[in-house]
Amino acid sequence: MAKLFSIASWNVEHFKEDASRVGRVVQFLDDQKPDLFALYEVEGATVWKTIMAKMPGYTFQITEGPQTQEILVGVKKTMTAFITQKIEFKSGTTHMRPGQLVTVDVGGEEYAILFLHVASGTNPRGMGLRDDMIERALEFRRVLDKAAGGAQKANYLFLGDLNSMGLEYPFKHNIPAVDEIKKWEKRASRKAISMRRLDKTHPNSWSNGSESSIPPSNLDHVFAAKHLKFKFFKNEDGSDAEVDVRGWVEKKTAASRDKWIDDFSDHSLLYLEVHS
């Protein structure tokens, strides 16, 4: 298999006017050398100016609207790409982020990459919004297939901070996060959708540090059309995974993980390569 292009997806918590942190984050992102990427929770103008200065080989686009947290997308200037803000993924809620759809042409083939930062929360409202957004993302496969001529031809994937937190409800009616993910996977596997969730080198991508009462969580995901191929990365147990999780998860001690979280973000970065 040959590499077609690489993608990075990273939620950088409350990413704004801390110049030293912005510099560290942009350098770490640049070190991954992605062909295209998305940053979530961008809040300040400092980010925009720094990333343009430090990553001159990319073009950028950022979401707009009444929401306070934006999604910033970067694409290498060597790639042909069209970026669209998809407001339908706000689920009719003004404060939610729209999706960022990046369509790239590689070797005469179009690939549609939808970056999402969906609703958080373990209450019924949060889970309901998430459920609606994920269903819209899955159903978008049909729209792309139709545009591509039918027969499930669309090269489509969606990814980002999908906030799979489950539901906390009284009287022993909780829904664990793992069951929420299984529900998404079942929907994705429907014949009319034909998508799957990609395995990651580390299941948990979020942590609030060693002193937090909340354990590390599996919040960031990639769903892709079943026919797409990806580079394999090795898990610690030797098994294969198609998404490499990079950041605090790679640190060996609680102290070093806590420092990485303080210096960068509570989310690790997702990295993947689409192959022919």
Give the pLDDT score at 158: 98
Measured between alpha carbons, how far is 75 from 204 in angstroms, rounded to an integer? 27
pLDDT-derived band at 131, boundaries 50, 70, 90: very high
Strand-pair category, 99-106 with 229-230: unpaired
Number of domains composing the chain: 1
Whether the per-residue pLDDT at 193 is higher than 80: the answer is yes
pLDDT-derived band at 92, boundaries 50, 70, 90: low
**Ranges assigned E (strand) in the chain:** 3-15, 36-42, 58-62, 70-76, 80-86, 99-106, 109-117, 155-161, 195-197, 220-225, 229-230, 233-234, 240-241, 244-246, 269-275
Q: Which stretch of 13-22, 135-144, 220-229, 258-267 has the lowest confidence by average pLDDT?
A: 13-22
Q: Which stretch of 14-18, 92-96, 149-153 has the lowest confidence by average pLDDT?
A: 92-96
pTM, two decimals, is 0.95
Question: Three-state DSSP class for 133?
Answer: helix
Measured between alpha carbons, how far is 54 from 271 in angstroms, rounded to an integer? 20
Lookup result for tokens 């961008």: 42
Measured between alpha carbons, how far is 29 from 198 in angstroms, rounded to an integer? 21
Which CATH number do you get for residue 66? 3.60.10.10
Give the pLDDT score at 159: 98
Q: What is the CA radius of gyration of the chain?
A: 18
Q: Supply the range of the domain harboring residue 154.
A: 3-275
Strand-pair category, 70-76 with 80-86: unpaired
Task: Please report, rounded to a whole number, the percentage of residues in the chain having pLDDT higher than 90.
Answer: 80
Whether the per-residue pLDDT at 66 is higher than 70: the answer is no
Q: 10: which residues sit within 8 A by CB, 6+ positions away?
A: 29, 37, 38, 39, 40, 265, 267, 268, 269, 270
